[in-house]
Amino acid sequence: MKTNRLKMFLKKISWGYIVLSALLIILLVIRLALPAIVKGYVNKKLNELPGYTGHVEDIDIHLLRGAYVIKGLLLKKNTDPAKYPFLQIKHMDLSLEWNALFKGRLVGEVIAETPNIHILGTEDISKEPSKESWTKTVKALIPMTINKLKINNGRFAYVDLEKKPSVNLHIDHLQLTALNLANVQKTNDPLPSEVTLSGISIGKGHLKAHMRLNLLKEIPDFDMGMQLTSVNLLALNGFLEANIKFDIERGDLDVFSKLKLTDGQVDGFVKPFVKNLKVLNVKKDIKKKGGILRVVKKAVVGLFAKAVENPNTKKIATVIPIEGNIKNPKTSSWATFVGFLKNAFVHAFKESITNEAKGQKVS
């Protein structure tokens, strides 16, 4: 009797081992196949975004820490030149934010290494894919709510290849940290999230910005302060020549800005300061297009700038107010907002050089 019971017990154990082994093998196969499955899904969703194509080179899954890694992300418009794709990210790590999980919120932390973003001056933002299309694409890449975002050594560039000469304005070594984007801390602050960034601009300028915002609204509210200091204006001669047929021989630029967006209403200002400005080089300018007229124009601007220069600080300052409402039913809010910023900053920059705007303030 005991022998039969022993045989039955051993038989049950054997079947248990067989079932357990089979389950482990199945799990191992699924685990090995999972990165390829996720990669195929992500690539499919990237290419479903209207007007765009994209792919990722590889995806790694880290089950123990609740994370996955995207390697070699590329997303480009069908009209983008090969050299200037919309988005490239060398390495992006997405993981669960365990502190938030203990508070009952399933949210993620994203760390993007060396992302590059190119915005083309010829793009028609009003023809961008719908918000729903972008949401589906982002969810394919990041299948949970982002609460913390960090960008290391990024690059942001504005490129206009149709200008003569072409324009390439950029921020390098971009560092960005965004906290409490999903308002996990559940504060009563109307602007519960915080973003800080820094970088180096064209002309070796130093960029710093701080923003409080509320991303949970359909049109996010925010309050931002920004400064860009010690820009060598010689690096911007291509931009000047392309936009106002003008260049300079010497000068430095500081820009300070304050912007606030509340319920779709934009309010703020851009205030650039130009110092040590020199605009005229007769021997060089007379050989360029426009010849004598170019020399005369630059001489007049130079004299005017000297006349309005603050004798104590040796600076020329202009204040450009920014105000308006981006709730235009015929245009996307994002397109309207970008239009505000583009016009305001370009306008401010031009006026800081020529200082000929009506109602200008000199300090």
Q: What is the pLDDT along the chain (363 residues), one digit of tens a residue?
A: 556 655 555 555 565 566 666 676 766 665 566 778 888 888 998 898 888 999 999 998 887 777 889 999 999 988 888 899 999 999 999 988 877 666 667 788 999 999 999 988 776 666 777 777 777 888 878 877 888 999 999 999 988 888 888 888 899 999 999 999 887 777 788 999 999 999 999 999 999 999 999 988 888 899 999 999 999 988 887 887 777 676 677 788 888 889 898 988 888 888 888 787 766 443 454 445 544 444 434 444 443 344 334 445 445 556 777 787 776 544 454 555 555 555 555 555 555 544 433 333 333
- Nearest-CA neighbor of 250 among 266, 229, 265, 236? 236
Residue 65 φ then ψ, to 5°: -100, 10
Q: Is the dihedral of CA 163, 165, 166, 170 positive or negative?
A: negative
Tell me the whole-structure pTM to 2 decimals.
0.74
Tell me if 77 sits within 8 A of 86, measured CB to CB: yes
Q: Where are the domains of the chain?
A: 1-186, 214-363
| Angle at which helices 291-308 and 333-354 cross, to 10° | 90
Q: What is the DSSP letter of 130?
A: P
For the chain, list the strands marked E by DSSP: 52-62, 67-77, 87-96, 107-120, 145-160, 167-179, 193-201, 206-214, 221-232, 250-262, 265-278, 315-317, 320-325
Tell me if 271 sits within 8 A of 251, measured CB to CB: no
